[in-house]
Chains A and B, each alone.
Chain A
Amino acid sequence: QSVPTQPPSVSGAPGQRVTISCTGSSSNIGAGYDVQWYQQLPGTAPKLVIYGNSNRPSGVPDRFSGSKSGTSASLAITGLQAEDEADYYCQSYDSSLSDYVFGTGTKVTVL
């Protein structure tokens, strides 16, 4: 299965730093395809927070940062705030599946 995997949940206290991993394969992230990250607040549509591995769209706080290395990518949230509590999904393209693939999703809880 080439779908990128993410930890089901991560948590942190307000002000702390949390990271979410996205582990792919040689047919998606490892093949050089860009990784995007989406934030999904409860009951709402996903919102793009990182594109092209490490770029933030206008209006997204600089507390959010992305990186990519090899077959994996990461999203970091620094200075965690209550409003960051949401589900987060990574996304890339998979050449073996000929498919846009989303990660399994991670629920971020602010303690």
Chain B
Amino acid sequence: QLQLQESGPGLVKPSETLSLTCTVSGGSISRSTYYWGWIRQPPGKGLEWIGSVSYSGSTYYNPSLKSRVITSVDTSKNHFSLRLNSVTAADTAVYYCARLDGLGKWFDPWGQGTLVTVSS
């Protein structure tokens, strides 16, 4: 059974870079059928897609975040990563990683999520 687990700092200072990793277990990240994605949810609010990456490193991003986001994949460690720079309090959210299934149509499964707070 495929499982995903987010990891990274829970507190980031304003203007700095948020960095998270999603470790995949129970399956290989190198299967060419899938993309791997990041989604976030500010406290008490809805879901927002951040970006996605393929096993070969192809990426695409939410246009509203594109200038600040980089996603990457490390097949040797079976994980993929998110970097969001120049963060502000508005980036405070629970960050989820997920697999994009159905030839890139839906997100399943999801990691449990990790809360990242932007504060000095």
Chain B proximity of A4: nearest CB distance (Å): 11
Interface size for chain B: under 10, 10 to 19, 20 to 34, or 35 or more residues?
20 to 34
Complex interface residues of chain B between 79 and 120 (CB less than 8 A to chain A)? 96, 101-102, 105-113
Taking CB as reference atom, which chain A residue is nearest B47?
Answer: A102
Say whether A51 contacts B113, CB under 8 Å: no
Which of B46, B108, B111 lies in contact with A89, CB distance below 8 A? B46
Contact of B105 among A51, A89, A102, A103 (CB under 8 A): A51
Partner of B49, one of A44, A47, A100: A100
Of A34, A45, A99, the contact of B111 (CB 8 Å cutoff): A45
- Cβ < 8 Å to B, chain A residues 13-72: 33-34, 36, 38, 44-48, 51-52, 57
Q: Is A1 an interface residue (CB 8 A)?
A: no
A92 nearest CB neighbor, chain B only: B105
Known: A47-B110, A51-B102. A102 touches B96 (CB 8 A): no
Among B37, B101, B105, chain A packs the most CB atoms within 10 A around the CB of B105
From residue 33 to 74 of chain B, which have CB atoms closer than 8 A to chain A?
A: 37, 39, 46-49, 60, 62-64
Alpha-carbon distance A104/B47, docked complex (angstroms): 8
Task: Give the distance to chain A from B28, nearest Cβ to Cβ, in Å.
Answer: 21
A36 to B102, CA, bound (A): 11
Judged by a CB distance under 8 angstroms, whether A10 is at the interface is: no
How far, in angstroms, from A27 to B101 measured CA to CA in the complex? Answer: 21
CB pairs A–B below 8 angstroms (20 shown): A34-B106, A36-B106, A38-B47, A45-B96, A46-B47, A46-B107, A47-B110, A48-B106, A48-B109, A51-B102, A57-B108, A91-B47, A91-B106, A91-B107, A98-B60, A99-B49, A99-B62, A100-B37, A100-B62, A102-B46
> Which 4 pairs, one residue from A and one from B, show the smallest C-beta to C-beta distance?
A100-B49, A102-B47, A48-B108, A45-B110
- Other than the given A33-B105, A46-B96, A46-B107, 18 more pairs (CB < 8 A) read A34-B105, A34-B106, A36-B107, A38-B47, A45-B110, A47-B110, A48-B109, A52-B105, A52-B106, A57-B108, A89-B47, A91-B106, A97-B63, A98-B63, A99-B63, A100-B62, A102-B48, A104-B46
